[in-house]
Amino acid sequence: MSESPKWYVIHTYSGYENKVAATIEQTVQSRGFQDVIFEVRVPTETVVEVKDGKEKEVVRKIFPGYVLVYMINNEESWYLVRNTRGVTGFVGAEGTPIPLTEREVEKLGITRRQVAVNYQVGDSVMITDGPLEGFIGVVDSIDPDNDLVRVTVSMFGRETPAELQLGQAKLAE
């Protein structure tokens, strides 16, 4: 059994994902399991659909029939989740919960890694990675939500904008 929290995938009846998530959260609160089960998520995305010439934003489940749980895997947490109405089991070999790897968690966008930057708009930065490595440019904009920084680099006598990840630039000395 695990001693550090990890993300696990639960299989549910299709259409019961939100109900299962709400029931688990409610049970965690009522039984005092906040130190074992930390977060329950139903992966969704917002999509713009065009129907009869009208645009409408719709929230769609990315993985119908699945719920993600961030928990410490022990007998109590396993029992609580497994015996929630609508849950058919954990994803794993023979019902044994197998945690998602760090790479899977990152690909799914479950957690965002925060990059702290010591530069701001107007500062000169050196590009530390990628095809423009070693070039110095001026920061035009910073978009921390999408992990992007827009830098203007002078190349061959012309100003060229470049979009980089936040970690690909550092304050020029």
Among 66-70, 71-75, 109-113, which is the least confidently predicted range?
109-113
All structural domains of the chain = 6-108 (3.30.70.940), 124-171 (2.30.30.30)
Residues in CB range of 170: below 8 A, 6 or more apart: 118, 119, 125, 126, 128
Of 128, 18, 150, nearest to 84 by C-alpha is 18
Residues in CB range of 79: below 8 A, 6 or more apart: none
Helix (H, G, I), strand (E, B) or coil at 77: helix
Vertex 49 angle, CA 44 and 50, to 5°:
175
Tell me what the mean pLDDT of segment 71-91 comes to: 91
> Model confidence over 26-50: pLDDT tens digits?
999 999 999 999 999 888 877 777 8
Tell me what the mean pLDDT of segment 128-140 comes to: 90
Q: Which pLDDT does position 22 carry in this prediction?
A: 95
Q: Would you place residue 68 in the very low, low, confident or very high pLDDT band (cuts 50, 70, 90)?
A: very high
The tokens describing 120, both together, are 């701001």
Task: Tell if the pTM clears 0.95, that is, is over it.
Answer: no
How many Cα neighbours within 13 Å face the side chain of 112? 8
Q: Which pLDDT does position 112 carry in this prediction?
A: 52
